[in-house]
Chains A and B, each alone.
Chain A
Amino acid sequence: MGSHEHSHDHSGPEPLAARVQRMTGLNPACCYQCGKCSAGCPMAAETTLRPHDVMRLVARNRLDKLADADGLWLCLTCETCTSRCPNGCDPARTMDALREIFAAGKDGKPPKAISAFHKSFLNQVRNHGRLFEMGLIMSYKLGGGPMFADVTTTPSVLARGKLGLAPHNVKGMDEVRRIFAACAEEEAQP
């Protein structure tokens, strides 16, 4: 597994299946649509595109259909699909690759609240090296999360001594920032 080639020949737009295979090291066409992944998927009931649908659309290069799918963003990475796939297709890793592709492009944006959560989370890590939960909650709400959700429960969290009021910055902040920057730079290369 893993990405075997980091760049490709720019003779034309790279087909989706090839791009995903380059990222995951796995051929999406290996999926023979048995549906075992979707049978065990906890989010299958809430999404229009289940894991085996996603695998088929990737194999058929249907980036357009996948852009409209909420399933990619609802995926919890519970690894049930990957664990049970009889042909080693790793749908969970494929979901990650697709999220990465769509996050970098114009189409297929995640639902606002989910996107706001991930952005806020990573910003906390980028700025402090660790997750500062209080900062995450504030930044998530300001960044597009539901403003009044959990307003009544937050005091009870504080009362239990569960929320720190000040962030802890790791000593190796320079290294953490460099990791974020270097990953962004490398992923931005075609």
Chain B
Amino acid sequence: MKIGYFPGCSLHGLSREYEESLKAIVAGLDTELVEVDDWSCCGASSAHGSSHLLGVALPARNLAIAEEQGLPEVLAPCAACYARLASARHEISEDPQLAGRVNNVLVRDFKNTVRVRSILEVLKGQIAGIKARATNPLKDLKVACYYGCLLVRPVQVTGGYDDPEDPSSMEDICKAAGAVPVKWNRRLDCCGGGLSMSRTGSVVRLSAAILKDAKAAGADAVVVACPMCHSNLDFRQKAMKHRGAWEGDMPVLFLTQVVGMSMGIDPKTLGMGRHFVSTDSVLARTAGTGSGSGTGTNSAAAVAGEVG
């Protein structure tokens, strides 16, 4: 299948391992990503709070280009991009006057036909394929599936592909990869999102509570599908320790990396060495657990060592 692809700024920067692992797994799932031509920033957490129109028009430019490319749907792997694109689509469809203002600003004849898909929605539709290709199922890996805020709420924006208070798609995807999701409480709590730089103390408080709960539930790793969640939970563990809010090392994986490991894809290809908290413990547990290629996964420690 072919699907439009909106990478967003983070997947080309701080979270490039998210794009690396996504591209590595879609090849095995018979899916082709068609990048939105000359895409621009969705405005993320800054535009919508400064100008409502800007917060809609910036994502709408990308949806308009996708429409001109003839793409019926676009995957936005970043949860924040997904929320901004899906929210723009929703608001424009609900408000004809806003639709007119946006078209005036864009100077495009945008008809708002492009559906916006989250990574959970897309991978949920590929569960059979993920299962079939899990040559290295992650049998012993206990994962805490962390949704955060924007992947499943509000339901008016997501269209309700999953339950906003009790979602299950990420657990289902991880199970298909052979991992064991733990039951825990903070999977829908906010990590502190865009306040990472401007109010680090809040992020430390919120993200440490999430990690502690995952640890108490017996998780070997936290799984995310958002660059901001990843940055706050992985990169900020150092700040959490420094401020006495957290002890230990909790690997934080992108969902696409979990699927990629189960396919036996080389850890370097999945960007496993780009994390701040080493993923060696995860790779050691999963190496050769299945019938698949243990050799690929064994090079992981070296990869992580290179940069760690």
CB of A162 within 8 A of CB of B48, answer: no
Please provide the chain B residues from 157 to 205 with a CB less than 8 Å away from any CB of chain A in the complex. 164-165, 188-190, 192-195, 197-200, 202, 205
Q: Is B51 an interface residue (CB 8 A)?
A: yes
| Residues 169 to 190 of chain A near chain B (Cβ within 8 Å) | 170-172, 175-176, 178-180, 182-184, 186-187
Query: In the complex, are the beta carbons of A96 and B40 less than 8 A apart?
Result: no
Complex Cα–Cα for A156 and B155 (A)? 38
Chain B binder among A28-36, A52-60, A61-69, A78-86: A78-86
Q: Shortest CB–CB separation between residue A115 and chain B, in angstroms? A: 8
Nearest chain A CB to B53 CB, angstrom units:
5
Within 8 A of A (CB), among B51-110: 51-55, 57-58, 61, 83, 91, 94-95, 97-98, 101, 104-107
* A178 to B40 alpha-carbon distance, docked (Å): 13
- The interface residues of chain A, by DSSP majority, are classed as helix
Interface size band for B: 35 or more
* Chain B hits for A133, CB < 8 A: 9, 13-14
Stretch at the interface among B23-31, B113-121, B146-154, B211-219: B146-154
**Residues of B near any A CB (own CB < 8 A):** 9-10, 12-16, 38-41, 43-55, 57-58, 61, 83, 91, 94-95, 97-98, 101, 104-107, 148-150, 153-155, 164-165, 188-190, 192-195, 197-200, 202, 205-206, 235, 238, 273-276, 307
Measuring CB to CB, which residues of chain A are less than 8 angstroms from any residue of chain B? Answer: 1-4, 6, 23, 25, 42-43, 45-46, 74, 76-80, 82-83, 95-97, 99-100, 103, 111, 113-114, 116-118, 121-122, 124-125, 129-131, 133, 137, 140, 145, 149-150, 153, 156-157, 159-164, 168, 170-172, 175-176, 178-180, 182-184, 186-187
Q: List 17 A-B contacts (CB under 8 A).
A: A1-B95, A4-B97, A45-B205, A76-B193, A77-B193, A113-B197, A114-B198, A118-B49, A130-B39, A157-B14, A159-B307, A161-B307, A162-B16, A164-B13, A176-B40, A183-B51, A186-B101
